[in-house]
Chains A and B, each alone.
Chain A
Amino acid sequence: MKKKLLSLLMVGAMTASMLAGCGDSGKSDAGTDTAKDDAGDAAADDAGDAAEGTEAAGDAAASGGENTLTVWCWDPAFNIFSMNEAAKVYQKDHPDVTVNVIETPWEDIQTKLTTAATSGALDTLPDIMLVQDNAFQKNVITFPDVFTDLTNSGVDFSQFAAGKTAYSVIDGKNYGVPFDNGAVIACYRTDMLEEAGLTIDDFTDITFDQYVENGKKVLEKTGKPLLSMQAGECDLIMMMMQSAGASLFNEDGTANILGNDTLKIVMETYKKLKDEGVLIEVNSWDEYVSSLTSGTVAGTINGCWIMASIQTAEDQSGKWAITNMPSLVGAEGATNYSNNGGSSWAVSSNCKDTELAFDFLASTFAGSTELYDNIISCGALATYAPAGDSEAYAAPNDFFGGDAVSSKIVEFSTKVPSNITGVYYYEARDAVATAITNYINGGDIEAELQTAESTVNNQMQ
């Protein structure tokens, strides 16, 4: 018996040696206060390992208890910061309410939401979660029992830009409180434009034809393309589509890819940009950001949140300017405004105290200009109209040549045409991305659209 014990200990020692001999890296930055606790836990778990399920410590529903709101969102510098600011604003009048933010990347929110909904464990959901606008329709329609109808929650949705609320309206009911603005801006390096004898005004309210002409001048004088885009991601395609109010789906939910005239114009425009060298495709998001910060391109077109990435290149301060995006030529309803990205707050069906959640949202993200003034520092721009009139939004931004960019973007966002996201948004987006890649590499446009349409139809089964 003694020997048996010894051998057992040996295995244990081998495991422990990992700690004893090598564990310094962990110790250096790990708090010691909980260490003892954990060791005890560990021993208990060993013993109880085979005997399943007696230790039901956790499983406490993610949804908070009395006067607590649990929230899932993902960006500490951005939406988590904003949520915490909202909590502060709300606590002024309701000191007994606490907001518990659990940092959860968007993809994980999606995975957990899907897992919880399909296994019927809705009690694992938080009270409030942030949902990507593009995924809103898909989730509400697929898992209707996860979301709470906010139509009569006291939130005044008429105060938000119509194009923005449209993302979270399903069957005429509101399921989301709009959060951040995804209005599309075109950013340019004014120093590079100058070299080509151009100014920001030459890029304001223009069409893509003019954009290409200007781009050729810039390319000739500076050797830099006007625009970089991530290959295989059709961000620009979708922005162009929405700028003319066009979608990849019809009202009845059927795919609208083959025979979609706007899509054809968009694809041809994209190819032209690429062929003329005005647009350069990069491999990844990192490379895209790098092309902006290291000055290998003279500008970009993207959701206004891209400004935060551009501004990390502090040495380029004052050399950037923003304006609206070029419009499509020959497309019906073409405008210089569009949207890319953005998200909205949803209340889950697991929320016990919906009155509290409603009141919280109505008096913060849908009712407090003070909140929006506080969070403008992190780059969160409102789609809440009253916020745009505040002084904070009129403040000049030195990085962008002293322009009042915030109020400019809020103004842009009111002009964005709304379109149909569609439940099968991601399916269609990927299929179109494939089509455009093949088309650029010499494929026939009609054949590629045909393939894309049948791929989407197949996946909609």
Chain B
Amino acid sequence: MTKGKKFLMYAFLILMSIISVFPLLWMVMAATNKSVDVTRGRLLPGTYLIENFKNLLAAQDVGSAMLNSFKYSIILTFVSLIICSLAGYGFEIFHDKAKDAVMSVILLAMMVPFVATMIPLFRMFSSAHLLNTTVGFLLPTVSTPFLIMMFRQSARSFPHDIIEAARIDGLSEIRIFFQMFIPTMRSTYAAAMTITFMNAWNNYLWPKVIMTDAKSQTMPMVVANLTQGYVTDYGMLMLAVLICTLPTAIVFFCLQKSFAEGITGAVK
């Protein structure tokens, strides 16, 4: 690669990164400032971080919201990944006309706005006594057409001769899945994990509807609580948002290597 091209590439990446990160920097700055300075558009770091933090802890039960959010998101991610990757694998590796048709039907499930299915779903959950439970939180989003399709698409690049070889070796289908597919598809799993964790973490409408208990509040609910009322404390709000954003950012940072620099050689 020539120097000029290299320079252009870095320039482009740096520009994109600045555009992406700028609003977040703004958020970090805002978290260290007094509310009135935030509304006046102050962009410099302030000295109000600790004050904002104290106010936030006094106003909201951040600790329990964090714990709830972690608990729900991790369980959901784990269960969801297993169920959906099994299905995606099943749809692709054993594909036939009937399964392709089922896949198309499943895709339909994500095409109806949630507002329309929320009330029937709530009726189901309340009569099954699942309000305020972890299971209630998980069930509607644990199996998603999107994840199934993602694993189905990636299973397409999983070499069939490996499967054949494993079958000849006498491995059961489920073992092929767990011992061959999962390790090979680490990058897909890592990407899926990032996305699923993020969606679970940021999920708002459904948890809000079924969690009627104050103890079950999640982080996005805490953030939403802070935007209510006649006066918004923007410094405190931005700090809460920052705290709410960090886990996803960190999860991404930790996992990005595994899905963006896949381990070649595992396949061969």
B133 within 8 A of A: yes
B78 touches A12 (CB 8 A): yes
A23 within 8 A of B: yes
B24 within 8 A of A: no
A105 within 8 A of B: yes
B41 within 8 A of A: yes
Fill in one digit per residue for B38-70: 1 if any A CB lies within 8 Å of its CB, else 0. 011100000000000000010110111011001
B230 touches A314 (CB 8 A): no
B132 touches A105 (CB 8 A): no
Interface hits, B214-268 → A, CB 8 Å: 214, 216-217, 224-225, 227-232, 234, 243, 246-247, 250-251, 253-255
A30 touches B63 (CB 8 A): yes
B134 within 8 A of A: yes
B40 to chain A, nearest CB (A): 4
Q: How far is the CA of A52 from the CA of B118 in the complex (A)?
A: 19
Q: How large is the interface on A (under 10, 10 to 19, 20 to 34, 35 or more residues)?
A: 35 or more
B67 touches A30 (CB 8 A): yes
- B208: which A residues are within 8 A, CB to CB? 108, 111-112
- A3: which B residues are within 8 A, CB to CB? 175, 178-179
- A45: which B residues are within 8 A, CB to CB? 75, 134-135, 138
- B139: which A residues are within 8 A, CB to CB? 52
Q: How far is the CA of A119 from the CA of B117 in the complex (A)?
A: 12
A447 within 8 A of B: no
B39 touches A293 (CB 8 A): yes
- B186: which A residues are within 8 A, CB to CB? 14
A309 touches B183 (CB 8 A): no
Q: How far is the CA of A29 from the CA of B222 in the complex (A)?
A: 14
A26 touches B228 (CB 8 A): no
B46 to chain A, nearest CB (A): 15
Q: How far is the CA of A26 from the CA of B130 in the complex (A)?
A: 27
B95 within 8 A of A: no
B74 touches A42 (CB 8 A): yes
- B74: which A residues are within 8 A, CB to CB? 15, 18-19, 42
A395 within 8 A of B: no
A41 touches B134 (CB 8 A): yes
A241 to chain B, nearest CB (A): 22
- B232: which A residues are within 8 A, CB to CB? 286, 289
A15 touches B193 (CB 8 A): yes
Q: Specify the chain A residue showing the minimal Cβ separation from B253.
A: A22
B142 touches A49 (CB 8 A): yes
B229 touches A53 (CB 8 A): no
Partner of B59, one of A18, A76, A100, A305: A76
- B193: which A residues are within 8 A, CB to CB? 14-15, 18
Q: Specify the chain A residue showing the minimal Cβ separation from B234.
A: A286
**A29 and B62 contact, Cβ closer than 8 Å, known pairs A124-B126, A124-B212:** yes
B91 within 8 A of A: no
- A57: which B residues are within 8 A, CB to CB? 132-133
Partner of B123, one of A8, A75, A108, A121: A121
Q: How far is the CA of A114 from the CA of B123 in the complex (A)?
A: 12
State the majority secondary structure of interface residues on A. Answer: helix
B131 within 8 A of A: yes
- B126: which A residues are within 8 A, CB to CB? 59, 119, 121, 124
A35 within 8 A of B: yes
Fill in one digit per residue for B119-160: 1 if any A CB lies within 8 Å of its CB, else 0. 110110011111111111011001000000000000000000
Partner of B183, one of A4, A7, A25, A115: A7
- B81: which A residues are within 8 A, CB to CB? 11, 15
B71 within 8 A of A: yes
- A75: which B residues are within 8 A, CB to CB? 228-230
B230 touches A56 (CB 8 A): no
Fill in one digit per residue for A277-320: 1 if any B CB lies within 8 Å of its CB, else 0. 00000000010011001100000000001101100111000000
B107 within 8 A of A: no
B250 touches A22 (CB 8 A): yes
- B209: which A residues are within 8 A, CB to CB? 111-112, 115
Fill in one digit per residue for A35-52: 1 if any B CB lies within 8 Å of its CB, else 0. 100100110011011001
A340 to chain B, nearest CB (A): 11
- B214: which A residues are within 8 A, CB to CB? 100-103
B189 within 8 A of A: yes
B42 to chain A, nearest CB (A): 10
B39 to chain A, nearest CB (A): 4
Q: How far is the CA of A59 from the CA of B67 in the complex (A)?
A: 21
B257 to chain A, nearest CB (A): 11
A447 to chain B, nearest CB (A): 32
- A118: which B residues are within 8 A, CB to CB? 119
Q: Specify the chain B residue showing the minimal Cβ separation from A380.
A: B230
B35 within 8 A of A: yes
A-B pairs, 7 with minimum CB distance: A58-B132, A75-B229, A119-B123, A7-B178, A121-B126, A56-B129, A290-B39
List 19 additional contacts besides A15-B74, A49-B79, A119-B120; criterion CB under 8 Å.
Answer: A4-B178, A11-B78, A22-B250, A29-B243, A34-B64, A46-B78, A52-B130, A53-B129, A55-B133, A55-B134, A58-B131, A58-B132, A60-B213, A74-B225, A77-B229, A119-B123, A124-B212, A308-B230, A312-B35
- State the A residues within 8 Å of B (CB): 3-4, 7-8, 10-12, 14-15, 17-19, 21-23, 25-26, 29-31, 34-35, 38, 41-42, 45-46, 48-49, 52-53, 55-60, 62, 74-79, 100-103, 105-106, 108, 111-112, 114-116, 118-121, 124, 286, 289-290, 293-294, 305-306, 308-309, 312-314, 379
- State the B residues within 8 Å of A (CB): 35-36, 39-41, 57, 59-60, 62-64, 66-67, 70-71, 74-75, 77-79, 81-82, 118-120, 122-123, 126-136, 138-139, 142, 174-175, 178-179, 182-183, 186, 189-190, 193, 197, 205, 208-209, 212-214, 216-217, 224-225, 227-232, 234, 243, 246-247, 250-251, 253-255
Sample of 17 A–B contacts (CB below 8 Å):
A3-B175, A4-B174, A19-B70, A25-B243, A25-B246, A29-B63, A35-B67, A49-B142, A52-B135, A58-B131, A58-B216, A74-B225, A76-B60, A78-B230, A101-B214, A111-B205, A306-B230
